Amino acid sequence: MSDFEEMIGEWGDRYFDPKGLGGWSPMLEAALERFKSLSAKRSAQCAAPEHKVAIGWTEDKDFNAFAGTTEAGDLIAIAVNVPVSLSLLFRRVLLFKEFLPFLEGLPYDQVEPAPLPPEGLLFSLDHGPSHVAGDHGPLRGRLANFMTQIALDYVFMHELGHIWNGHTSLMKERYGLGIVEEIERDNNLPVSAIDRQTIEMDADCFAARHMSTAELLEREWLPANPAWEAEFGENSTYTIIRNIAIYLALRCFNEAASLVDMGSRFYPPVAVRQFYVAGTWFAAMSKDKEKEFSEFGRMIVPIIQAGEEAFSFLTGKPVDAAGAKLAYSREGIDYGNTLLRNWARLRPQLDPLKRGGTLAPIQSL
């Protein structure tokens, strides 16, 4: 029995063997190996090669993922529902000709998929079809796989951020339960909404910071969008598409694009999350790639716009412009400053609990 199997059993959840899902198994096995590689690289970067995280799949369908810390160590469990749902999500949306229309490859008589409710997009093993009918052609089919990998990397790196930045240890210290669950359908962890939203923002920024400067995936096959390249510079297509993958994965949680009832919500609105994800991503690229941050910052608008259009195609709902407006509004900026002030309070508590590296400074989370 592996460390993960033993630890996940102690949490009361069930291990899922990646070899046990038929045609989906190669994707599960490849993703798991990539997660382990990303985790090992993070340990090596922080001069803590002895630090290990037990990583694996769980068949529990009541949440998407969780990061946990016990006396036995750290673990990250991702529901098998996640890779299946993300793969179907991107395969479905890339059958719409109007999604990323600069791409070619769809037959002229391609029938677009019927709309699904958001639950059918998120929980594909509970709802919705188990496959997507249609001919993507080689380019869009490859892009569906690419965007799935980006979204999966983001899910994993977000969970890794909860561990490395001390979030799970803080939960264990406060409540005796070192766990941070994602998109759970029932959460009884007695953490305040503002603290939860703050650590989620920090985990988002951790993922963005490391994904932006990670070893680049092969991209020579990806055509450039002439409009993006003209406005934002060379290779902007690659950057924007990776961020669209993240935005759409988050958007499918169908959270309201408003700041209403934030006292009972676990996450910032998705457009605000993307504002910080992309801002952190672009700031890291500005530092490491000698690009001006302002040049990248303008890319946030087409990222949110494309993500909202994609969500509209998938669900049959009208395109919602409220998210982009909220991200740049005074109300949205004030809310972000509230999280940053709370980060100033939490950071000293997290600093002695982190696994290594440096926590985000207060002024640039």
Query: Per residue in 67-122, pLDDT tens?
Result: 999 888 999 999 999 999 999 999 999 999 999 999 987 777 778 888 988 888 88
Q: What is the pLDDT of residue 64?
A: 82
pLDDT at position 63, please? 60
Rounded-to-integer distance, Cα 193 and Cα 312, Å: 29
Please state the rounded mean pLDDT for residues 296-321.
90
Tokens of 215: 């070893």
Cα distance between residue 169 and residue 209, in whole Å:
21
CA distance 41 to 296: 26
Q: Please give the distance of CA 200 from its chain centroid, rounded to a whole number.
A: 11
Sign of the alpha-carbon torsion through 63, 145, 315, 200: positive
pLDDT band, residue 62 (cuts 50/70/90): low
The residue type found at 159 is: E
> Is residue 365 over pLDDT 50?
no
Q: What angle do CA 228, 234, 238 make, to 5 degrees?
A: 70
The 3-state DSSP class for residue 221 equals coil
Distance CA(339)–CA(140), nearest Å, equals 38
Structure tokens given for 120: 């059918």
Q: Which of helix, strand or coil describes residue 317?
A: coil
Helix axes 236-251, 81-93, angle to 10 degrees: 120
In this structure, is the dihedral angle defined by the CA atoms of residues 173, 187, 34 and 23, taken in order, positive or negative?
positive
Q: How high is the pLDDT of residue 76? A: 96
